[in-house]
Amino acid sequence: MVLTKALEVYGKYLRLIAAIILPIGIANGLILCTISNSEYIFQLDYLLRFNITGWLLSALWIGALIYALSLLESEQEITYSNALLHGVGNWWKIALVALVIIGFKYLLMLSSAYSSLLAGLFFLIAIFVSMRYILIFPVLILENRGTMESLRRSAELSQGQRLNMFFEFIGLWLLLKVVIFLMQMLIGMAGNLLGGIWFTHLTFVIVIGIIEPLVTSLIIVWIYCYYLQQYRIFPGYVPSDQALHAQDQEGR
């Protein structure tokens, strides 16, 4: 089962995963803290509702994490700086996908304002598109393809697994929401003792800056593990010699 493999990989490389994602996640939390204390606080609701800063900054660590995993799983050497540089170099690719996701969330919000039926129809379309192209992140990072070719490749790789991926993804998404809910409850209890302003700051730094990226990174690891499985069924060209060796080793 791919989810089991993803949990194994996540536990094995948790220290490196945390080192890659937490500085960026905490930076996002601090940015939101700063905005909450500024004259732009009224824009904070939109930033949180669509997770704009979270998606744009996570584009840095998603590329770095996938690249690092592609080498670590084949027992090749990877340095922290090399992983981050790879993430920065591919930031714009992941950021474009992030903007599309934000756009879908915005359209869903607009459709729900007009009709619940229209919102439901759009939601079903969003699920179909998401599962069809869910492997787009590793394709963009590890395979040398253009935009349209990457979309076709992602659709090819997800063949035969979309229903399984849907149910596993729902499970991971629910895990993310439950963990965030529990942490907010605990922070709320602390906030009653420390005061409202501290509650806001703790929520941004601990929940949005630490907990949310850590659980989201499990989803990225899970996507990468599905990519490895499907790559063996639908092999494709990987330009990086290191990444290609990683795929070959994984298939042995």
| Structure confidence by residue, pLDDT tens digits, 13-27 | 999 999 999 999 999
232 closest CA partner among 216, 219, 218, 249: 249
Range of the structural domain that residue 181 is part of: 2-94+124-246
Whether 84 is in a domain gets the answer yes
Statement: residue 232 has pLDDT above 80: yes
Burial class for 193, CB neighbours closer than 10 Å (0-12, 13-18, 19+):
exposed
Angle at 59 between CA 170 and CA 93, to 5 degrees: 105
Whether 155 is in a domain gets the answer yes
168 closest CA partner among 226, 229, 117, 246: 226
Give pTM, 2 decimals: 0.86
Statement: residue 134 has pLDDT above 90: yes
Average pLDDT over every residue of 154-174? 92
Exposure b/e, 218-249, CB count within 10 A at least 16 = b: bbbbbbbbbbbebbeeeebebebebbbebbee
Whether 22 is in a domain gets the answer yes
Number of domains in the chain: 1
DSSP summary character for residue 207: I
* pLDDT tens for each residue of 67-105: 999 998 777 888 888 899 989 999 999 999 999 999 988
Whether 113 is in a domain gets the answer no
Whether 24 is in a domain gets the answer yes
